[in-house]
Amino acid sequence: MEKFNILVCDDDKAIVDAIEIYLKQEGYHIIKAYNGLEALKALEEHEIHLILLDIMMPKLDGLNATVKIRETLNIPIIILSAKSEDTDKILGLNFGADDYITKPFNPLELSARVKSQMRRYTALGSIAEKSNVIKIGELELDKDAKEVRVSGEPVKLTATEYGILQLLMENAGKVFSIDQIYEKVWNELSFAPENTVSVHIRRIREKIEINPKEPRYLKVVWGIGYKIEKI
């Protein structure tokens, strides 16, 4: 089994140490940081496969660190938030995070969310069994290259965004509910996934649509869910 490097960044050292204990038991190698600037430095010095990132930190907070990371990397980011309010969670997703977990967290939930993101990330980097390009209008998804193009120009998606788009494009015309999208892409049972899925859908639209407010491809079917329009 390949050993993956996880960057854990939180200004509370006790939390970082606790996460290290939990995840080491799962076979992960942990790299520690205690503010956003240290996290960015760790990314320069190590090959990181996933980041657990606190929001409220000195020097550089988790949200702005996420923005900086997303300028160059699509590795999974799970936001750690001390607050249970949806605002923090939605902000994290809007800034480019893939998922969130609220502190204090259950170690089993933490492990499950990390595994879910790692499965999707490693699948994104794996070699496809055969050439397979899905083309809908000017939108292309290349399963060999794990690349999405619009009018021939590559579009940078996170592993989660790619997973959602692949699901919908492979089933063009079929409507998926929010629960179905969450369960198929996150590979776990859904629990109040509305904000998580809808924020990712909005981010995908911003990247693939000329006018996200009047989407050509990624459509909402009110009261039911989302689909990719057959063109």
- On the question of pLDDT at 195 being above 70, the answer is yes
pLDDT band for position 140 (cuts 50, 70, 90)? very high
CATH of 5-124, one of 3.40.50.11540, 3.40.50.970, 3.90.1150.10, 3.40.50.2300: 3.40.50.2300
pLDDT of residue 128: 37
Instruction: Report the percentage of the chain scoring pLDDT > 70.
Output: 90
Sorting pLDDT into bands at 50, 70 and 90, what band is 24?
Answer: very high
* pLDDT tens digits along 27-51: 999 999 999 999 999 999 999 999 9
Q: Where are the domains of the chain?
A: 5-124, 133-228
How far, in Å, CA of 144 to CA of 152, rounded?
Answer: 16
CATH number of 133-228: 1.10.10.10
Token pair 């020097």 is at which residue? 59
Stated pTM of the model: 0.68
| Residue 125 pLDDT | 57
CA distance 228 to 176: 10
pLDDT of residue 1: 45
* Angle, CA of 86, 157 and 227, to the nearest 5°: 75
Check pLDDT > 50 for residue 150: yes
Q: For the chain, how many residues are written?
A: 231
